[in-house]
Amino acid sequence: MRSFTLWVLVTFLAIQVSAHGGIWNYSIAGNWQPGFFPYYPAEGQSSIQRHWAAFRPIKDLNSPYLVCNNPGTSAEKYATIRAGGEIKAYYPGWPHDIGVVIVWMAFCGPVPDSCFSFNGTGNHWFKIQQVGLQSGTIRDGHWALKDLIANNYTWSTTIPASLHHGAYLIRHEIIALHVPYEPEFYPECAHLFVEGSGWAGASGKYLAELPGVWNGDDPSLNLTIYQEPTASKTEWAIPGPPVWSGNNA
C-alpha cells in the first residue's frame, strides 16, 4: 500500500516538479537507507537526513535555508561511518546537467548525537569534495552533474581518512546554472558519526560561513551559459574556499 502510494505520489511529482530534485537515499559503506522524504508528513519518518519541504531550489543567498534546505531541522538518527569510508547520495531523476557538486562537512561535537542540537548556521563548513566543469565549454561541456546523471543519479564521496572522530553534518550541495543570472542551490544535510583514529580538523582558510559564502555578483554564479563571452569558455572557477583534503597545509 505504502509503495503504491509512493508510486502515485512520485508520478504526480514527476509531472508537477520535474524540473527539480534532491537526495532521497544515502548509502553508507554500501548499505542504502532512506532519507527524509519531503512530501510525506515528518511524523512517522526517521532518517539521518535533515528535513526538507520540497524539491525546489533555494535562491536567496542569505537565507537560513541555504544551510540545510527548508526547514533544515534536525534528523532523528545518525549514521556511523569510518574516516576514509564512502558515502553515496541518490538523486532519482535529477534533471539538470549544467552545474557543480560540492560536498561539505561541519563538526557538531564529540559525541555521536551532537548534531541533534547543532544548528549549522555559521563559520563551520569545510569542503571535502568539489567537481565543476571538467572539460569542454560552459555551454555544453562535461559538468559534474553529467556524471551524477550517468552514474544512475548517484554521487560518491570519501570521508577524509585523517578526519578526527566525532559527529558531523555532511552537506551535499548542487549549484545548477541553467537559468540565466539565477543560480539554483540544492543543499541537503545528513547526520554522521565519524569513527577512526584520525586527528585532523579543518581550520583557517578552509572554513566558510553558511549562509554567506556565496556572493550574488560572483561571475561563476551570476552568469548566463547561453551567451558569449561565457558560453564558449572552457574554465569555470569553483567559488568558495579550497577543498580540505585532510590537513591544513
Ligand X SMILES: *[C@@H]1O[C@H](CO)[C@@H](O)[C@H](O)[C@H]1NC(C)=O
Q: Which residues are within 8 A (CB) of 24 and not within 5 positions of it... i.e. 6 or more apart?
A: 34, 35, 37, 90, 91, 92
Among residues 129 and 230, whose Cβ is nearest to ligand X?
230
**Which residue, 155, 227, 208, is CA-closest to 186?**
155
Stretch that binds Cu ion, among 15-23, 104-112, 119-127, 134-142 (CB under 5 A): 15-23
Nearer Cβ to Cu ion (85/183): 183
Would you count residue 24 as binding ligand X (CB under 6 A)? yes
Q: Which is nearer to ligand X, 163 or 220 (CB)?
A: 220
- Nearest approach, Cβ of residue 108 and ligand X (Å): 12
DSSP 8-state secondary structure symbol assigned to residue 50 = P
Please say which residue, 114 or 163, places its beta carbon nearer to ligand X: 114
Q: Please count the residues of this chain forming the interface with ligand X, following the rule CB under 6 A.
A: 20
The closest of 103, 53, 75 to 192, measured between CA atoms, is 75
Choose the contact partner of 6 out of ligand X, Cu ion, none; CB within 5 to 8 A by kind.
Answer: ligand X
**Least CB distance to Cu ion at residue 179 (A):** 8
33 touches ligand X (CB under 6 A):
yes
Task: Report the DSSP beta bridge partners of residue 82.
Answer: 195
> Whose Cβ is closer to ligand X: residue 222's or residue 245's?
222
Q: Are 229 and 137 in contact (CB under 8 A)?
A: no
Quick check: 19 binds Cu ion (CB under 5 A)?
yes
Q: Where are the beta strands (DSSP E) in 110-153?
A: 122-131, 133-135, 142-143
Partner that binds at residue 64, options Cu ion, ligand X, none, CB closer than 5 to 8 Å by kind? ligand X
Name residues contacting ligand X, limited to 108-167 (CB under 6 A): 119, 121, 152, 154
- The single residue listed with the C-alpha cell 555544453 is 140
Amino acid 29 reads A
Q: Please, which residues have CB within 8 angstroms of residue 181's CB and are 6 or more apart in sequence?
A: 222, 223, 224
Cα four-point dihedral sign 37, 81, 213, 219: negative
- Which residues bind to Cu ion, rule: CB under 5 A? 19-20
- Which residues bind to ligand X, rule: CB under 6 A? 6, 24-25, 32-35, 37, 64, 72-73, 90, 119, 121, 152, 154, 181, 216-217, 222
